[in-house]
Amino acid sequence: AFAEFANGLRKNLNAGIRDGEIVEMLAQHLITQPVFEALFANYKFATQNPMAQALQQVVAQIG
pLDDT at 49: 85
Residue 45 CB neighbours (<10 A): 15
- C-alpha span between 8 and 32 (Å, rounded): 22
Predicted confidence (pLDDT) at residue 31 exceeds the cutoff of 90: yes
Predicted confidence (pLDDT) at residue 40 exceeds the cutoff of 90: no
- If you average pLDDT over every residue of the chain, what do you get? 91
pLDDT in tens, 43-62: 877 678 888 889 989 999 98
Domain range annotation of the chain: 2-62
